[in-house]
Amino acid sequence: MKVAFFTVDGTRTQLEVLRDFYKNALDAGAEELVVVDTIGACGPEAVEFLVRQVREWFGAQVPLHFHGHNDFGLATACAVAAVRGGAEWIQGTINGMGERAGNADIGEVAMALSGLYGVPVELNLKQIREVSGLVRRAAGHEMEPWKPVVGENLFMRESGAVASQFHIPEAIEPYSAELVGATREVVLGKKSGIDSIAIKSKELGISLTTEQQQAVLAVVKRTGTEKRGLVSDAEFREICAKLQQPV
What is the pLDDT tens value at each position of the chain, 247 positions in all?
889 999 999 999 999 999 999 999 999 999 999 999 999 999 999 999 999 999 999 999 999 999 999 999 999 999 999 999 999 999 999 999 999 999 999 999 999 999 999 999 999 999 999 999 999 999 998 888 889 898 887 777 777 767 767 777 777 778 888 888 888 888 888 888 888 888 888 888 888 888 888 888 898 889 889 888 888 888 888 888 888 776 5
Angle at 40 between CA 34 and CA 42, to 5 degrees: 80
Q: What is the CA radius of gyration of the chain?
A: 24
* Whole-prediction pTM: 0.80
Quick one: pLDDT at residue 25?
96
Quick one: pLDDT at residue 105?
95
Rounded to whole angstroms, the Cα distance separating 196 from 172 reads: 14
- Domains annotated for the chain, with CATH where assigned, are 4-139 (3.20.20.70), 156-161+185-244 (no CATH)
Q: How many CA atoms lie within 13 A of 203 on its CB side?
A: 16
Rounded to whole angstroms, the Cα distance separating 160 from 199 reads: 11
Quick one: pLDDT at residue 174?
82
Rounded to whole angstroms, the Cα distance separating 51 from 13 reads: 13
Rounded to whole angstroms, the Cα distance separating 14 from 26 reads: 19
Rounded to whole angstroms, the Cα distance separating 44 from 117 reads: 15
Rounded to whole angstroms, the Cα distance separating 192 from 170 reads: 20
Rounded to whole angstroms, the Cα distance separating 114 from 121 reads: 7
The edge-to-edge listing of strands for the beta sheet with 89-91 is 4-6, 32-37, 64-68, 89-91
Q: 188 near 220, Cβ under 8 Å?
A: yes
| Nearest by Cα to 42 from 4, 6, 81, 5 | 81
**Helix 106-116 and helix 75-85: axis angle, to 10°?**
50
Q: 118 near 132, Cβ under 8 Å?
A: no
Instruction: Say whether 198 sits in a helix, a strand or coil.
Output: helix
